[in-house]
Amino acid sequence: TAAPPIQIYDPVFGSFLKRVNDNDEVPDKILRSTAELLRSASTIKTAESPRDSESREILSRILGVGFEHVSNQDLTSADYMLAQHTPFNVNAAPIMAEVKSELGSGGSDPSVQSGFSYARFYCSPERAPIRKVSCCPAFLVGIAGPWLVICGAVFTVRPIIQRLCPYQWLGCSRVLDDQQVFQVARILYALKLSVEELQKSYENLSDPVPHKDEEPSYIHPRFCPHITHYTCNNQKETFRYEQPLEHDSSCVTFKATLLRTGSPIVVKFVRGYGVDAHKLMASINLAPKLIAHESLGEVYDNLNLVVMDYIDGKTLHDIFGPQPHPLPMGVKTGVRRALNILKSHEYVFGDLRRANVMLVNEQPQSQPIDKRIRFIDFDWAGKEGQGLRYPFHLASVVRTPSGASEYELITEEHQEKMFKVL
């Protein structure tokens, strides 16, 4: 499932990655058990059972947890997992593992199989109490012969599985290679501390926002990112998510409500953002007011949080449909005027699509249509010639009209090509 980094749904995954990259000392006991795991993994096995039992015992020792074989109501199960008690008298699984005798045996990748095991476990009816109050965060461990991989998983509208680190080689194939033990041990020690963090989280599960029938806009936090506040003028502002503004699991933009004032806002998670271009357009009423832009730090994958005013209106796509349905001349005139203002300040707007331009609802709607134009997406807006690039994996809805290639510098030519087919 294509989705934002799962760190925004639960910071435990960001904490895990931070611990992996820290230089904190790994306890000797963990180092010795890791060396034992490497020796065990270096032995060729022709069946899963011996590999399963050996890895289970050693991993249990390293992580300080008791692994169990837990069957679902349909008798399916992961190879082993940690059964964690919750206040709802239903066990959660902070960590699951799938083991194969060798990479490729059994016809499946253990990292993929562990994802299916996770989905089956948390989709089962008996886990409903946990799904109602949590995004069901879990670590998934895959072992295939001398290979180890660790993934993270959450459950929003559907399971989201993401690899947290690449496959690690466990085989003892070189002498004078103590560094391999240190490298793998650091990952497993980070996993141990992170699983302990998840255990405490599951022990203290509760519904964070009581559902009120009189609040029809309520959306459960399970479907939204973990971040619920930002800082503006040295004051912490808390908000509540109301609804996603996109219709798939890759959504990074949400409508929210400020708890202090009840004002509607838009919250967005981005890698980079054209802050200056947005502020310029907002200052002349061609974009919603930019309220905040702040880095979320390493734990949240160094993403940025963008907060802006919510404006009442519809996008050009929603009003006039996709190309080739024509736009009124007044709309084209308003967009052209906005682009000219950007150009006068040496800015380019690299994602000029109907979905990123709105018409505000004015009451009464006596204002000329070109004065109701608002630009709403400045992810790829900035100074031309200063390193602003399109991302890798550029979608065809941008690539085709702009003529751009992935990771290409964004130019006025790309913007103008998109304007011609707007």
Within-domain flag for 209:
no
Where are any strands of DSSP class E within 320-364?
347-349, 357-360
CB 136 within 8 A of CB 95: no
pLDDT at 113: 87
Give the H/E segment covering residue 111.
helix 110-123
CB 135 within 8 A of CB 156: yes
Report d(CA 90, CA 81) in Å as an integer.
Answer: 14
| Residues 289, 333 within the same domain | no
| Residues 280, 195 within the same domain | no
Final residue in a domain of this structure, among 139, 168, 203: 203
| Residues 92, 35 within the same domain | yes
pLDDT band at 231 (very low <50, low <70, confident <90, very high): very high
| Residues 148, 168 within the same domain | yes
For the cut 50, the answer to whether the pLDDT of residue 381 exceeds it is yes
> Domain range holding 120?
6-203
Dump pLDDT digits (tens) for 14-44: 999 999 999 889 999 999 999 999 988 877 6
CATH assignment of the domain containing 300: 3.30.200.20
Within-domain flag for 116:
yes
Read off the pTM.
0.90
CB 86 within 8 A of CB 203: yes
> Within 10 Å of residue 73's Cβ, how many Cβ atoms?
8
Range with the poorest average pLDDT among 220-224, 255-259, 292-296, 336-340: 220-224
Q: Which distant-in-sequence residues (6+ apart) come within 8 Å of 261 by Cβ?
A: none
Report d(CA 355, CA 272) in Å as an integer.
Answer: 19
Final residue in a domain of this structure, among 137, 170, 203: 203
Within-domain flag for 217:
no
Report d(CA 18, CA 187) in Å as an integer.
Answer: 10
Report d(CA 279, CA 206) in Å as an integer.
Answer: 40
pLDDT at 370: 85
Average of per-residue pLDDT across 145-174: 89
| Residues 257, 199 within the same domain | no
Burial label, 71 (beta-carbon count in 10 A; 0-12, 13-18, 19+): exposed
pLDDT at 56: 85
| Residues 32, 122 within the same domain | yes
Report d(CA 348, CA 358) in Å as an integer.
Answer: 18
CATH assignment of the domain containing 350: 1.10.510.10
Q: Tokens in use for 78?
A: 């992961």
Within-domain flag for 219:
no
Instruction: Tell me the H-state helices in 284-328.
Output: 316-320
Within-domain flag for 1:
no
Q: What is the pLDDT of the chain when averaged over all its residues?
A: 88
Within-domain flag for 216:
no
Average of per-residue pLDDT across 294-300: 93
Please tell me the total count of domains within the chain. 3
Nearest to 112 by CA among 140, 136, 131: 140
